[in-house]
Every structure is written in structure tokens, then in C-alpha cells.
Structure 1
Amino acid sequence: MMRRLPVHLAVAVSLAAVCGCSTPSERRDAATAAARHYAQAVRAGDWAMACAALAPTSREELEQAGKSSCPDALGQEELPDAGEARHTDVHGNQARVVFAQDTVFLARFPSGWKVTAAGCHEQAGDEPYQCEIKGR
């Protein structure tokens, strides 16, 4: 005997598959994983892998400022060893992952989460974060 899903459940499942919807915890886990991937590449000095984790505007800004390819420019930056991830905040398609010695900002693209800013340190008062790597 074949069981049938109620129509509203079948439609919801179909829409979730089409829109790529995810739960808040899935978005948080994916953003954390992307930030960790970037941090591990930096720790290992794998600048090509770290560059692949950057958002397009962040990569372009780094190349223009360093007047060289992304891996060469990134290798010249004094980026901290991020340490352990402490917590992740996700707001829509934006995320912030706070590590022990770094804060990384990300945005969600069709290809997944990409780093928009890194090497960030919180400033006093209401001042924005100061970041070594950032996009426009």
C-alpha cells in the first residue's frame, strides 16, 4: 500500500528544495564551517585556498591594495591565527564568526558562504570593526 503525503507537506518540501531554504542552525553551521575553512587555510599559509574562500569584492580589494594576485597580497598581510571559534551570529545572508583572536564576516552567495572581512578587531564604543581584509 502506497502512502501519500498531504498536499501542503509535499508543496513545502518541493519549495524548500527549489529555494535552497535552510534552518537558522543550518545557516549558522554552514557559516561557521566556511569561516573555519578560511582560518585553517590562513594558519597553514595556503593563500590560494584562503583566497578561494573570499567574497569577490574582498578578493578584488585585496588585489588592488596589494597590487598583486590575491595569494601574493594575502601572504603579505599580518593575519592572526584565529584560534577556536567561539560563536556565530547569522542575520539573513550575513554572518559574523567570532574566534579567540579574530572576527570574520561572511555573506551567503549562490556558491555558499564567503568571507567578506577578516582580521577584524572590535573598536571602542560605537566604532565599526577594524579589518585587515575587507570588501567595498
Structure 2
Amino acid sequence: MPRLIVLICLVMLAGCGSLGEREDAAAETATAFLRAVSGQDGAAACGVLAPETMAEVEQGAGQSCAVAILSENLPAPSAVQDIQVYGQRALVRLEDESVFLAVFPGG
């Protein structure tokens, strides 16, 4: 059974874009986040996290998000299998994980 990884990320899901554009943005944000982590770019990975998620990562590790996120056991990005966009929220299903995204003020 595939492993399910749940992340809450900040994504630029422009409400005025077409559904296809918002799906593409969601998929790109999800895979960019996982690429950043697997590439050891903690600053880029934290740059797309929701504010509350970033704070939880920092509090849980007692380190900056950019350092702490790299010690999380997150998988490398895999092929996108399905994308569902619900207003300003999205679910991106990859081969072995799922990423939940949402738009927050300022992004």
C-alpha cells in the first residue's frame, strides 16, 4: 500500500486562472517543494509552506525551518497521478504521496 504524506503548502492558485492553469500551478508547487527538500534547499522548501506549518516545523525541531525541513523524512518527487482543485485549495496525488495545498494571505 502506498505511503501517504500530507503537507499543507502555500501555492499561487490564482482564483482568476482557468482550472487547467490552477491544476498546473498546484502540481508544480507540490513537486517543487519535494524537489527542494531532496535537493537540500531548505529555504526554497520553506518558502512554500503555510505560515502555521512553517512555525510548527521550527517549534518541533527547535531550529529554523530551512534547517529543520531537511531532517524531515520526505520523499523525492514522483510522477503526478491526479490533481483536484477546490477553489483555493488543491490535492495533488503523486505515485507514493499526496500533497494538500492552500492559498494564504500574501500568496
Range of TM-score over shorter length:
0.7 to 0.9
Question: CA contact under 8 A between 1:81 and 1:102: conserved in structure 2?
Answer: no
**Structural mapping, 1:69-80, within 5 Å:** 69-80=64-75
**Structure 1 stretches (4+) deviating beyond 4 angstroms?**
none
Question: CA contact under 8 A between 2:19 and 2:85: conserved in structure 1?
Answer: yes
Question: CA contact under 8 A between 2:78 and 2:95: conserved in structure 1?
Answer: yes
Count of aligned positions: 94
Matched, 1:43 2:38: yes
Identity of aligned residues (%): 39
Partner residue in 2 for 1:8: none
- Distance in 2 (alpha carbons) for counterparts of 1:79 and 1:44: 11
Q: Give me the TM-score of the superposition, normalised by structure 2.
A: 0.78
Partner residue in 1 for 2:99: 104
Q: What secondary structure is seen at the aligned counterpart in 2 of 1:109?
A: coil
Where in structure 1 are there 5+ consecutive unaligned residues? Answer: 1-18, 113-136
- Distance in 1 (alpha carbons) for counterparts of 2:79 and 2:106: 25
Partner residue in 1 for 2:79: 84
Give the superposed CA RMSD.
1.8
Give CA deviations for 1:12-65 in whole Å, capped at 9, x if unaligned.
xxxxxxx95122111111111111211211221211111111111110111111
More strand by share: 1
Partner residue in 2 for 1:93: 88
**RCO (CA 8 Å, sep 6+): is it higher in 1 or 2?**
2
Where in structure 2 are there 5+ consecutive unaligned residues? Answer: 1-13
Counterpart residue type for residue 93 of structure 2: V
Question: CA contact under 8 A between 2:84 and 2:92: conserved in structure 1?
Answer: yes
Give CA deviations for 1:67-95 in whole Å, capped at 9, x if unaligned.
11001211211111231111111111111
Matched, 1:54 2:20: no
- Distance in 1 (alpha carbons) for counterparts of 2:19 and 2:97: 23
- CA positional deviation for 1:110: 5.1
